[in-house]
Amino acid sequence: MKPFAFVFPGQGSQAVGMLDAWGDHPAVRDTLADASAALGEDLGALIAQGPKEALALTTNTQPVMLVAGVACWRAWRAEGGVAPAAVAGHSLGEYSALVAAEVLTLAQAVPLVRLRAAAMQQAVPVGTGAMAAILGLDAQKVIAGCAEATAAMGQAGAEVVEAVNFNDPAQTVIAGSKAAVDKACEVLKGLGAKRALPLPVSAPFHSSLMKPAAEQLKAALAALELGAPRIPVVNNIDVAVEQEADRIRDALYRQAFGPVRWVECVQKIRALGIDTVVECGPGKVLAGMTKRIDAGLTGAALYDPATLAEVKALLG
């Protein structure tokens, strides 16, 4: 079997009924039961029934996307799928990757991401932060445009905007205070961006405004016993594979208020000698990014029994 990596999606790929196609698959059913018990809520009902508005609340989105990714992973393993050569996850998806690598148990991870989500929401009041996707502009120009917009706002740093998600060569997401993000969109269009699309999110994730949330997360991580990775995990913040528990904790802490370096993560996977990247979890967002980052890579998605069979056939 050719070497491959699994990558796990984050917020934005959620949808009501996103696990319905699995039916009563034991691995999926047991994952939902385990996660619901850990949180004291019926996550299966929320995923299956919604409503969409409840699923979109970050305090719900983060746990359900973690669980959905892990459910697909466990189904893969239950159906005889072998372990990948490496794993990674986009933003929140890094927690699914850490569960797959047995660094975190699902019972540890579900309450942890609920706390992460709640802390992020509390850090910046709804309506005062914003994010936008910048399309068709080189990442270095986006970084420069954000710096220009922040400087133009003045106010001794009260209004900030930063490049926070480097998703593919032509898509970078920015985040910060709403006024600064609006200003940056103007600046970046002037620098040649094809589009600047406001994102329907409730907080400026991965920006420096998330530092108070990260401090809460740091305290929670310190109380958890982490396992040694059974599979190499390429992290978002340093594009590094860590083995030591304290370094993994520190990377998760810094990831909360630092950028998701996804382009580099995919390039790192390629540098490990891997040419097939499988998105494990709802949607096909990361599979599409994979091909745009490196046309020499094969991108695939695994989100239901049919795609599981397709991935098995692809990997030979």
What contacts 249, CB < 8 A, 6 or more positions away? 218, 221, 222, 224, 226
Distances, alpha carbon 134 to alpha carbons 44, 71, 138, 167, in Å: 34, 32, 9, 10
CB 55 within 8 A of CB 47: yes
Report the C-alpha gap between 51 and 49 in whole angstroms: 6
Is the sign of the CA dihedral 259, 264, 265, 266 positive or negative?
Answer: positive
Q: Which two tokens mark 83?
A: 């372990």
Provide the pLDDT for residue 126. 82
Read off the pLDDT of residues 34-56 as tens digits, 9 standing for 90 and up. Answer: 999 999 999 999 999 999 999 98
Provide the pLDDT for residue 201. 86
- Write the DSSP symbol of residue 54: H
Provide the pLDDT for residue 157. 67
Task: Identify residue 239 by its one-letter amino acid code.
Answer: V
Q: Is 207 a catalytic residue?
A: no
Judged on CB neighbours under 10 Å (0-12, 13-18, 19+), 236 is buried
Q: Is 206 a catalytic residue?
A: yes
Determine which helix (DSSP H) or strand (DSSP E) holds 89, and give its type and residue range.
Answer: strand 86-89
- pLDDT tens digits for the chain (316 residues)? 789 999 999 999 999 999 999 999 999 999 999 999 999 999 999 999 999 999 989 999 999 999 999 999 999 999 999 999 999 999 999 999 999 999 999 999 999 999 999 999 999 988 899 999 999 999 999 999 999 999 999 876 679 999 999 999 999 999 999 999 999 999 999 999 999 999 988 899 999 999 999 999 999 999 999 999 999 999 999 999 999 999 999 999 999 999 999 999 999 999 999 999 999 999 999 999 999 999 999 999 999 999 999 999 999 8
Provide the pLDDT for residue 156. 67
Strands 86-89 and 4-8: parallel
- Active-site option among 13, 36, 91, 207: 91
Per-state percent for the chain, helix, strand, coil, to nearest 5: 50, 15, 35
How many Cβ atoms are within 10 Å of 206's Cβ, its own excluded? 25
Provide the pLDDT for residue 299. 96
Distances, alpha carbon 286 to alpha carbons 83, 141, 234, in Å: 19, 23, 15
Read off the pLDDT of residues 170-224 as tens digits, 9 standing for 90 and up. Answer: 999 999 999 999 999 999 999 999 999 999 888 999 999 999 999 999 999 999 9
- Active-site option among 25, 90, 206, 207: 206
